[in-house]
Amino acid sequence: MSDIRSHVIGTDGHDSYRRMSDRTLLLLRMLKDVAFVAGGMARYITFPDMPDAEDYDFFLYDEKDWEKAQALVEHLGYGLTETNPNGSLKYMSTDVWSRPVQLVYPFKDTGGTSGLPEEVISIFGLTCEQFALVALENSPDLRAYYYEYAKVAAEQKLIVPTNEIDPVHTLRRAFKYAKKGFTMRDDRIMGQLDRWESLTEGQRGAIHERITGNY
C-alpha cells in the first residue's frame, strides 16, 4: 500500500520513553531481530497523545523463532500467565511499571500472524490498530510504521474496519475501543453484520472454533 509512513523516534526528549519502563525498552531491544510491537501500544508510543493500550503485542518476523522469542521473554524475568485460545502467550513481569506482554501466535498455516511490520499491520481488522514499532540495530532509537489513514482515524477516534474476514473479531475489538471513547458509524456496524450473513457454514464454524479454542 502506498501510504505507509515511517519515522524514527529518538530517545532524547520523546514523551514515549518516559512512559515505558526500562525493562520494556530492554525487551524491545532484545527481541529486535525476532519480533516487533504492533497494535494499540505501538500507536500510543508513536503518538503519546492518542489513547493508551493495556499490553505490548509482539509479532514475529519469522515463525521459526517462536521458541527463541519465548526464551528471550522469560530470560528477562517475565512469567507466563495465560495461553489464549488462539495460541498466543501472555506474560507478566514482577516489575510493577512494566505492562503485560503478549507473543502473538505466528504459524500462518493454522491462522497465526507473522511477517514484516508493514505486512502484519496491513491485515489488522481495525485501522486504529495499524501501527508497528521496531527497535533499530546499533541504536537506542525506535522506528515507527503506520498508515496515514490509520493515524487520521485514530486521531478522530473512529473505528474503521478493514477487510478483516472475521466480523465477530472485528466487532469484539470495536466494543473494546468504544470503552475508550471511539465511535463506529452505523453503516459500518451493519457492514459487519452483513459480512457474517454472507459467510458459509464452514467459515462460521472456523470462526467459532478459533474463538472457543476447539481446533
Pairing of strands 101-103, 56-60: parallel
Question: Residues with Cβ < 8 Å from 108, sequence gap 6 or more?
Answer: 63, 114
pLDDT at position 54 is 87
Determine the pLDDT at residue 95. Answer: 79
- Predicted model pTM: 0.87
Residues in the chain: 215
Taking only the tens of pLDDT, the chain with its 215 residues reads 458 999 888 766 555 556 677 888 889 999 999 999 999 999 998 888 888 888 999 999 999 999 999 999 999 999 999 998 888 999 998 877 788 999 999 999 887 899 999 999 998 989 999 999 999 988 888 999 999 999 999 999 999 998 767 888 888 889 989 998 999 999 999 999 998 999 999 988 888 877 775 43
Backbone angles phi, psi at 100, to 5 degrees: -60, 155
pLDDT at 215: 32
Q: How far apart are CA 49 and CA 123, in angstroms?
A: 25
Q: 3: which residues sit within 8 A by CB, 6+ positions away? A: 147, 148, 149
Number of independent structural domains in the chain: 1
C-alpha cell, 85: 485460545
Residue ranges in the chain assigned as alpha helix (H): 15-18, 22-30, 40-46, 66-75, 117-122, 148-155, 167-178, 186-198, 201-212
Range of the domain at 152: 4-212
As a whole number of angstroms, the distance between CA 46 and CA 148 comes to: 13
| Residue 164: per-residue pLDDT | 67
What pLDDT score does 125 carry?
A: 87
Q: The domain that contains 119 carries what CATH number? A: 3.30.460.10
